[in-house]
Structure 1
Amino acid sequence: MNNASRVIYNILEWITKFAYLHILWIFFTIAGGVLFGFFPSTTAMFAIIRDWLRGNTDIPLFKTYWKFFKRDFLKSNGLGIFITAIAGIIGIDLYYIQNHINDVLTWTYIPLFAFILVFTIFIFYLFPAFVHYDLPVFKVMKNAFLIMLINPLNSFLILLCLGLLFMVMRTLPALAFIFGGSTYAFITMWLCLHAFNKVQGKQNK
């Protein structure tokens, strides 16, 4: 196999892996009844991406995904309760503001949207931190929040890359259907690993 053929083969292999991982994410989310399957399926996807980024590219996907899904089922759903509760509060606040607009309440948009932005960035760090650190849920959330605070440039890069990804997926919806979840996980896990390693390097010094 010449160099060109090898490159094409590697590209096709990774396209297949990303598509398969996205399918596993959807399958296990549905298998868990969506409500209880979404968070363990998402953390399993991030765990697979983390292994790939750390050089473990030949792991059996289905078997490894199932292992992570089972291992973190309860813990990830505990994380899901927190995320769902905060998202629910945000939704209630938005509904209340939209249905009670007056001169007194319009100022509440600014702090609410600022909180939504911070919470969204926090979520980008939360799933990578969950699979990277073997800690209780509360400590995982604490680590994710602190690392987010001390890495504003990294947070900006995450927003930029995901914004570009969103525009590409919006232009080509078929790509979102085939690769959306796995591509999102790869981008955020890759950038967050950089932040985690930087923090670890400072701690080692």
Structure 2
Amino acid sequence: MEMRGLMGGFYKISEWIMRLSVTNLLWIVCSIPYIFLIFPVIVAQSSDALMTSLILSSIIAPFTLFPATAALFSVARKWVMGEVDAPLLRTFFRNYKECYVQSMVGGILYVIIFTILIVDFRVYLVKLESLQLISYLFIALMALLAVSLFNFFSMVVHYQMKTFQLLKNALLLTIGRPFRSLSTAIMCGFVVYISFSSAKLMFLVPFFTGSIVAAIAFWNFYAIYMKLQQQAEKAAAAEAEALQEKIDNEGIEFLTEEGHSAKK
């Protein structure tokens, strides 16, 4: 029996708190090796310790963080598509296993590109002081690459494609839909900023931040997907109508020619 009124509202809120927190905790548990390596980056006092932690965490990320994030997006996909009662553990771990190789390979390529952009950013910011303004371009490129990474995870759990097709389509989708990409970057960036803005809100990180970001990112991706589907259906309907009209016209011409022949 469905609860209604104020108690029903509290019950639904508590359900969503449970869904978001459990999924977020699963994501963190499956990313523990990466978290152990990235944590010193937050508290690093020296540049040498910072670089060492970044290098080690970047190496381990494709094998831990990226498959866990793909599994996280698989649960977010269920929510966005209306399957809010989908079993969390089964959905998460099934997709963790199924998407492991693709997310790992894609993760390696994304880590390489991110590394190149970060190195270029530091070079222009520190070494080439006269060209510091160019460093902001690399920040924009990293933000764009982050959105394409979200689209990549969304496609991994939504399509059956080869890895390089997913990577290419994720980049094309990000560039081809700039307003959606911007909204994804702003909303996800806002969630991350709020989560790390003060010590009082740091509890969001282990319980909500990852799952909320995944839900927002997949929601934006799914909106693009549905629009493309509608456009494809309209184009197919228009093509079928044009083909039917052509067949009807050819049939009329054939009957007309037959009529002329009979009169002769």
Length-normalised TM-score, structure 2: 0.70
Listed one character per residue, the Cα deviations across residues 60-89 of structure 1 (whole Å, up to 9, x for unaligned) are: 211221111111111110011111111111
Matched, 1:66 2:93: yes
Aligned counterpart, 1:122: 148
- In structure 2, how many angstroms separate the alpha carbons of the residues matched to 1:128 and 1:160? 18
Q: 2:102, 2:156 within 8 Å by CA — same for their partners in 1?
A: no
* Alpha carbons 2:125, 2:132 under 8 Å: kept: no
2:183 to 154, 157, 163: 157
SS in 2 for 1:90: helix
Measure the CA separation in 2 of the matches of 1:204 and 1:148: 22
Q: Which residue of 1 aligns with 2:105?
A: 78
Report what 2:210 is aligned to: 181
1:121/1:175 CA distance change after superposition, 3 Å: same
Equivalents in 2 of 1:61, 1:127: separation in Å? Answer: 18
Provide the C-alpha distance between the structure 2 equivalents of 1:49 and 1:106, rounded to a whole number of angstroms. Answer: 39
Structure 1 residue 102, shift from structure 2 partner: 4.1
- Do the aligned partners of 2:143 and 2:185 also contact (CA within 8 Å) in 1? no
Deviations 1:118-161 (A, max 9, x none): 32332232211222221111111222222222322212221232
1:1-205 pair list within 5 angstroms: 1-30=3-32, 35=61, 36-103=63-130, 105-106=131-132, 108-109=134-135, 111-169=137-195, 170-171=197-198, 172-205=201-234
Query: RMSD of the alignment, in Å?
Result: 2.2
Q: What 5-or-longer segments of structure 2 have no aligned partner?
A: 36-59, 235-264
Structure scoring higher RCO (CA < 8 A, sep ≥ 6) equals: 1
CA pair 79-199 structure 1, distance change in 2 beyond 3 A: same
| Amino acid aligned to 2:94 | K
2:16 is matched by which residue type in structure 1? Answer: W
Cα pair 1:147 1:196 within 8 Å, conserved: no
Q: Give the direction of change, closer, same or farther, for the CA distance of 1:2–1:204 in structure 2 (3 Å limit).
A: closer
**Separation in 2, partners of 1:126, 1:112:** 20
Q: Which AA in structure 2 matches 1:29?
A: S
Moved more, 185-194 or 29-38: 29-38
Q: Could you tell me which amino acid in structure 1 is paired with residue 207 of structure 2?
A: I
Between the aligned residues of both structures, percent identity stands at 27
Following superposition, which runs of at least 4 residues in structure 1 exceed 6 angstroms of deviation?
none
Q: 1:114 to 1:16 in 2, by over 3 A?
A: closer
Aligned length: 204
For structure 1, the residue ranges without an aligned partner over 5 or more in a row are none
Q: Distance in 2 between matches of 1:6 and 1:68?
A: 32
- 2:121 maps to a residue whose letter is L
Higher-Rg structure is 2
Contact 2:73 2:215 in 1 (8 A): yes
